[in-house]
Amino acid sequence: MTIDGALRDIEEDADFVIVGSGASGATCARWLSAAGCSVVVLEEGAPAKVGKGDGLDAMSRLYRSAGAAMTVGKDRMALLQGRCVGGSTVVAGGIQSGLPEAVWREWVARDARWAQRLPWEALEMARERMDAELSVHKTPRELWGETGAAFFRALPGQASPTWRNTPGCQGSGRCLQGCPHRGKTSADLSLLPQAEQYGARIYARCKVERILMEGHVAKGVRGRFESGKLMTARARKAVILATSPIHTPWLLLQSGLRNVGQGWRCHPRAVLTGLFHKPVHTGPAASLAMESVVHGAADVHLQTLELPRSWAASRVPGLGPALASRLEQMDHIAVWGSSVRAEATGSIRRGPWGPRVHYETLRKDRVLLLKSLAVLAEAMLQAGAMEVWPGIDGAPEVVTSVKQARELALIDPAPGLTQLFATDFFGGVAVDERFQVEGVSGLVVADASLLPTSTGVSPMSTIMAVATIVAERWAAA
């Protein structure tokens, strides 16, 4: 049962109180309730109401801070998170990339205890289980779109269709604004309804403000509904934090619990835009149909993006007639993006209105990002673009030759060189062998806050696999 807000104070008792209803919270709720445990889920956002309005309307309803949250630092990176029942699964592209084994081995090399906490075989089994649960499949050829086909041609042997949890995809290109056709198995349409069938109770518009402690034992949480009424939820077995690597550390700080993991991390992202000779928007296309993942000493993830015209238009350069001419050719404009597995670490601190993310990319991170954008620019030109618009400080406004594209990698990698954003967050909380916050009994972390590093690929599949393991261990406790 989902309760949308409350007009009176509410008190709840359950075996498990889960804070957050996104990928990790919904996964825990699904498996714990199926195991016969009583579960209460508390979600700050409202039930996800997806419409066919423009992108700005969707962001105002489904994103935290309408997508305007930023890091504190010279780079000023936008932080994009869902804030609704189902969390970021509602506004994600649906990509389900498995954790690279090399990354897992890196975790074990850092701390051998990860081999027992998250055994590789258990992670793979949990991933396969969730892939089946969410109907994960490769993006079919008919949904690549001309943008995806161009990407595939430009990067032979490197590009491949993405694996996505979108069994009902109609190619509207609106994954990032919430699918208007309900074609994505986001948590609000899959995991949470199953949890409800087993008796889980979900409270929306309820912001958890504090963890209730008795000594060094977590006993529940206290929060407040949008109406101003109080929620007190007590946990007989454990409180499970699943609010993201931004808000889980913040909630610990709000509750007077100081816990520092190995640093907050993310995948900084940037995009560039190209104007093609031929239209590239001629039919159905998935939001993130095609990708190229480069693993090794430096991990890079290249992707195609289908965006609303209002979003893509913001990337068009020029003034007067030149700008007008380009805007008249919106069907010829493609947006491709790159993210890097940055080495930089940041921290979550308390701010006057919520968490503040302090983060600075390292020079080597910016160098890698420039190199990846140079590869994308060259690939765009080879795929038929007559202009590429890099949007990089120090670069030409318009790139028209392979030589100019390659020179993007040689630009001074100063902070603020291009617009950055991030959707993938990691780390910040140290946990024990039962995924409890170190030094606190009954306070479990199930989201990417517990991961010792970033994954180098879209982390949703890994987050759900980890949450599955967390739920199974606590259900058997």
Cβ atoms of 436 and 259 within 8 Å: the answer is: no
Mean pLDDT, rounded, for 66-80: 92
- Residue 311's pLDDT is 78
pLDDT digits (tens, 9 = 90+) for 412-444: 999 999 999 999 999 989 999 999 999 999 999
Considering the domain architecture, whether residues 309 and 403 belong to the same structural domain is answered as: yes
Whether 450 maps to a domain, the answer reads yes
pLDDT class of 57 with cuts at 50, 70, 90: confident
pLDDT class of 297 with cuts at 50, 70, 90: low
Quick one: which of 373, 365, 451, 364 has its CA closest to 407?
Answer: 373
pLDDT digits (tens, 9 = 90+) for 120-131: 999 999 999 999
Considering the domain architecture, whether residues 237 and 271 belong to the same structural domain is answered as: no
Whether 357 maps to a domain, the answer reads no
Average pLDDT value for the chain: 94
Whether 121 maps to a domain, the answer reads yes
Considering the domain architecture, whether residues 367 and 253 belong to the same structural domain is answered as: no
CA dist., res. 437 & res. 429, Å (int): 7
- Residue 425's pLDDT is 97
Tell me the residue range of the domain where 106 lies: 2-94+97-133+180-263+426-475
Mean pLDDT, rounded, for 191-195: 98
Considering the domain architecture, whether residues 313 and 440 belong to the same structural domain is answered as: no
Considering the domain architecture, whether residues 401 and 277 belong to the same structural domain is answered as: yes
Considering the domain architecture, whether residues 118 and 193 belong to the same structural domain is answered as: yes
Total number of residues shown for the chain: 477
Domain CATH code at residue 108? 3.50.50.60
Residue tagged 């006057």 (tokens): 352
Higher pLDDT, 222 or 174: 222
Considering the domain architecture, whether residues 282 and 328 belong to the same structural domain is answered as: yes
Quick one: which of 211, 199, 212, 214 has its CA closest to 41?
Answer: 199
Considering the domain architecture, whether residues 214 and 325 belong to the same structural domain is answered as: no
Considering the domain architecture, whether residues 376 and 451 belong to the same structural domain is answered as: no
Quick one: which of 45, 71, 44 has its CA closest to 60?
Answer: 45
Q: What percentage of the chain has pLDDT greater than the value 90?
A: 86
Whether 157 maps to a domain, the answer reads no
- Residue 52's pLDDT is 65
Structure tokens at 27: 């996964």
Considering the domain architecture, whether residues 323 and 385 belong to the same structural domain is answered as: yes
Considering the domain architecture, whether residues 105 and 197 belong to the same structural domain is answered as: yes
How would you label 409-441 residue by residue, b for 16+ Cβ within 10 Å and e otherwise? Answer: bebebeeebbbbbbbbbbbbbbbeeebbbeebb
Whether 351 maps to a domain, the answer reads no
What's the domain count of the chain?
Answer: 2
- Residue 35's pLDDT is 98
